[in-house]
Amino acid sequence: MSEPIPADNPLVLGAFRFESRLFLGTGKYATYPQMRDALDLSGCECVTVAVRRIPQNEAPGARFLDYLDLDRYTILPNTAGCFDAESALRTARLAREMLNTDLIKLEVLGDQKTLLPEPLDTLRATEILVQEGFTVLVYTSDDVMLAKRLQEAGATAVMPAGSPIGSGQGILNPLNLRLIIEQATVPIIVDAGVGQASDVAIAMELGADGVLMNTAVAAAKDPLRMARAVNFACRAGRDSFLAGRMDKRMYAMASSPPHGVIGAGA
Amino acid sequence: MVGVEDSHLAGDQTVRINGEIQPWRPHWTVWELLQELEADGPGVAVERNFAVVRRQNLATTPIEPGDTLEVVRLVGGG
């Protein structure tokens, strides 16, 4: 009988506890059934959704919510697409009314082309939403000092981008991410920029508490296979982080005994 | 006149719904608007003049000339 490996702690976000440290977005899938199956294969327990105006005279058809198992997943509404604090605050309040949840993924963007977060409005909106009793998971760049300010402002989790939203460029500044993680007093969830399963593993090996992704799964050639891959990668990266890596060495060190090789000696 | 926004002329009998100007109707309520949009189920929320209309107040909240309304729902996103 092998020695048991101690179980990992759940990820705690306010009143919520998650065994899976992977968070998936629900946008850009080819079909709703594909979205449903990708969420299932990813093993995620929390999914993010956007808030949008109801179009007038909409043709009847498949409805998004019919493909989202609300008993299975914790719904994390987001303020994606908001370019100022005010519209993000209004969106958060509408989401709270709609879902009866205090959870919010706060996104305040600064620029259409890069979709990089606007730091000052992001901080201001965080302060206000915390005051209003929201459980704020706040999207930010990989700026170390801003991450610190956001956690001091009462964010429940800070979500630095690995690289720009939807870019698939992976973790471009592992050093900053390490510095954010080292000083963190709240969970750090890498949000945005992940392009493939190895990026998820890298984020988790750096010590991130979770990873949120969307496009890397939805825009993969085979989204379901990628959903399964990132499920494995997230757990593998987490275990690798908890296990603790070996020290790097300049020179080689054989794994097999140096003595007793045949043909040696007289 | 009650409920008239700066962007509307005095006596203007219109409302702005999800960014579109529409004629106002007497005795109109938010609940009726939701039914017209076939949006009277769960997963919908309404903002009237930049304040959320609580679920229990949907039926009794009037729509007045000059009102700005946002009617939203959940969609897929990341």
8 A C-beta contact, residue A140 and residue A117 = yes
Query: What residues of A are in contact with residue B70 (Cβ under 8 Å)?
Result: 53, 90, 94
Q: Which residue of A has its CA nearest to B78?
A: A25
Question: What is the span of the domain harbouring residue A233?
Answer: 19-51+65-243
Domain assignment present for residue A1? The answer is no
pLDDT averaged over every residue in chain A: 95
According to the model, what pLDDT value does residue B11 have?
66
Query: Which residues make Cβ contacts (< 8 Å) with residue A203, sequence separation at least 6?
Result: A162, A171, A177, A190, A194, A211, A237
Kindly provide the ipTM of the predicted complex, given to two decimals. Answer: 0.86
User: CB distance from B26 to chain A under 8 Å?
Assistant: no
Q: pLDDT tens-digit profile of A47-101?
A: 999 999 998 877 777 789 899 999 999 999 999 999 999 999 999 999 999 999 9
User: CB distance from B22 to chain A under 8 Å?
Assistant: no
Overall number of domains in chain A? 1
Per CB distance under 8 Å, which residues of A are interface residues toward B? 25-29, 35, 48-56, 58, 64-65, 75, 77-78, 80-81, 90-91, 93-99, 165-166, 212-215
Q: Provide the CATH number for the domain around residue A83.
A: 3.20.20.70
Domain assignment present for residue A264? The answer is no
Range B14-73 has CATH code 3.10.20.30: yes
Domain assignment present for residue A211? The answer is yes
A12: DSSP letter: E
Q: pLDDT tens-digit profile of A184-234?
A: 999 999 999 999 999 999 999 999 999 999 999 999 999 999 999 999 999
Q: Do B77 and A48 touch (CB under 8 A)?
A: yes
Domain assignment present for residue A41? The answer is yes
Taking CA atoms, A262 is separated from A41, A253, A259, A266, in Å, by 50, 20, 9, 11
